[in-house]
Structure 1
Amino acid sequence: MGTAAALEKLVPVLLAFGGGVVLARRKIVPAEASKAFADYAFLFAVPCYLFGNIYASDLGTLFNWRAIGAYAAAAGVAVLAIVFASGAHGVREPRDVALRVMAGVQVNTAYFAVPVFITLFGTAAPIFPVLLFQVCVLSLVVISIMELGRAGPAAGGPGQRLLRAVGASLSTPLVLACNAGILLNLLSVHVPKVVLDGAGFVGDSASPIALFALGLHLGGLGLDIRGTGREELALIAFKCLGFPLLAWAVCGLLFGVRGEWLTYLVLIAAMPAPQNLFVFAQRYDVGVDLSASLVIKSSVVSLLLLPVWLQTVAA
């Protein structure tokens, strides 16, 4: 796949994001409104999207357990690497570390990987097992840390605060939607078509609304390419180069994953930082400017490197 083909598929992404930038810079829509749009995406639209798509999927054909286990192992090593590097550079506040882990390990699925995979393979089905792993494991850990960090010091002991944080993370619409989709799918529970149609209608707005929110924020803030700091460069390099190489080594060399699944996993790892990074940062008021910058800059770098990764892994 060439860069032109990828850009053609990403025109809707660029349009939604660019609209937010233009409206914010012209002060037609205030940049502060990005918080409301981000909350809508996080609390409502994305859960609807996940529930409908997971419920309608054939889960049995989506899960290659060796491949998914290998990817989870690679992600675990990547998490440890980022935690160690963050501590070595003086970043020790749990919410700040969790945000950096999310930036370096989680990937942009719905807004970037889906159109790329459809272009390359004619289907985005291989993405869904990784999406479930991200939401039900990685995001659960990140949300727990964020909720725990938001609790005040007078809110009880560490044990009580941790239990409340885990409970709050498990009850978020994002996690509930995934678990409900999996459970109803496995139990073959009939969900009325009108409910699925409604979830699909709302879910289709998740991507443009979240991207529009990001555009509004950056339109008001501005994006300084020359002022990219060392930490940003390190996180972008790890996300777009380090993590894909790690996935290739762990999945291919240690777990013996071969063929199409190795290609799928390396390409998924090479996707940019997730759109939800900005949504989480907005919601928990931590690293908002850093997250917005990482999402956009890693998207550009990832787009340029995709043809290289495809040729390297397929060779």
Structure 2
Amino acid sequence: MGTVGALEKLAPVVLAFGCGAVLARRKVIPAESSKVFADYAFLFAVPCFLFGNIYRSDLAALFHWRAVTAYAAAAATAAVLTGVLAGTLAGVRDPRGVALRIMAAVQVNTAYFAVPVFIMLFGDAAPIFPVLLFQVCVLSLVVIAVMELGRPDRTGSPVRRLGSAVGASLLTPVVVACNAGVALNLLSVPVPGVVLDGFAFVGDSASPVALFALGLHVGGSGLEVRGTTLEEVWLIAVKCVALPLITFAVCRYGFGLEGERLSQLVLIAAMPAPQNLFVFAQRYDVGVDVAAALVVKSSVVALLLLPLWTQWAV
């Protein structure tokens, strides 16, 4: 796929994201309303999309365990690199601060960014589902464990605090939708067509609404390029450049993956930092300003680099 073809594929993504940013900058739509759009996408539309697509998917082909293991190995490599850089370049010693930076550099924005991009490029977001489950059920749980165990304002035993946090994360609509889709698919439980059609109707709105919400957030908060710190620069570099390259090297030369599956894993790794990074930072009062800047700036950088990654990987 050439540069022109990649740009044509990504044009709807740029349109939805850019319109949100412009309307927020011109104060046509209040930037604060981005939370409403984001909540609709994250709590309702994205779960509907994920459930319907996972239920209809061929799980044996979708959950290619060698590919999932390869991506996990690449993520672990990037996590170690980020932890070392956090200590040496940023002087971060608090385990919660290190965990937050690893989350920023290793986890990807699946629901708000990867889903619409993959729909535009491949007509299907199914390749994202295994990474999404790995990210939610493994990476996020590790970050939650570190955050909860290091929290000074909570009473009760560490085991009780950790159990409460893990339980809450597993009951989020996205996780419930994924698990329900997998379970009903494996058990061959019939779901009425009218229900699946309803989920598909709502799920089709997830991508444009999520990108529009992200654009509103970016347009309202603005980008202070001159105020970008060295820490933000290297974290964005790890997220948007190093992680895709590490993923390519580990998956291609460590696990022998080739073709479209390799390309999809590289593109997933090239997605920006997850939007819930800011939610985690606020909840645990760790690196709030850094998290807010990384979510916005990595989204813009990833959007600018996507045509290059698309041309190179696909």
Answer yes or no: is 1:272 the counterpart of 2:271. Answer: yes
Answer yes or no: is 1:59 the counterpart of 2:63. Answer: no
1:237 is aligned to 237
- Show structure 1 runs of 4+ deviating over 6 A: 118-122, 149-152
Within 5 A, what are the aligned runs for 1:233-312?
Answer: 233-269=233-269, 271-274=270-273, 277-282=274-279, 285=282, 286=288, 287-310=291-314
Answer yes or no: is 1:83 the counterpart of 2:83. Answer: yes
Which ranges of structure 2 fall in alignment gaps of 5 or more residues?
A: 283-287
2:183 is aligned to 183
Letter in 2 for 1:206: A
Contact preservation (8 Å) 1:126, 1:264: yes
Contact preservation (8 Å) 1:38, 1:282: no
Instruction: Tell me the CA shift for residue 260 of structure 1.
Output: 4.4
Q: Deviations over 1:33-59 (max 9, x none)?
A: 222222222222222221111111111
- Quick one: structure 1 residues 298 and 76, their matched pair in 2 at CA, closer, same or farther if it must change by over 3 Å? same
Contact preservation (8 Å) 2:42, 2:111: no
Within 5 A, what are the aligned runs for 1:76-155?
Answer: 76-88=76-88, 89-92=90-93, 96-109=97-110, 113=114, 125-142=126-143, 148=148, 153-155=153-155
Contact preservation (8 Å) 1:20, 1:213: yes
Contact preservation (8 Å) 1:281, 1:288: yes
2:285 is aligned to none
Instruction: Tell me the CA shift for residue 244 of structure 1.
Output: 2.4
- Identical aligned residues as a percent: 61
TM-score normalised by structure 2 residue count: 0.83
Q: Deviations over 1:183-225 (max 9, x none)?
A: 1111111112222222222222222222222222221221234
Instruction: Tell me the CA shift for residue 30 of structure 1.
Output: 1.7
2: CA distance, partners of 1:247 / 1:45: 29
Which ranges of structure 1 fall in alignment gaps of 5 or more residues?
A: 311-315
Letter in 2 for 1:175: V
Instruction: Tell me the CA shift for residue 129 of structure 1.
Output: 2.8
Matched residues, number: 306
SS at match of 1:10: helix
Within 5 A, what are the aligned runs for 1:40-55?
Answer: 40-55=40-55
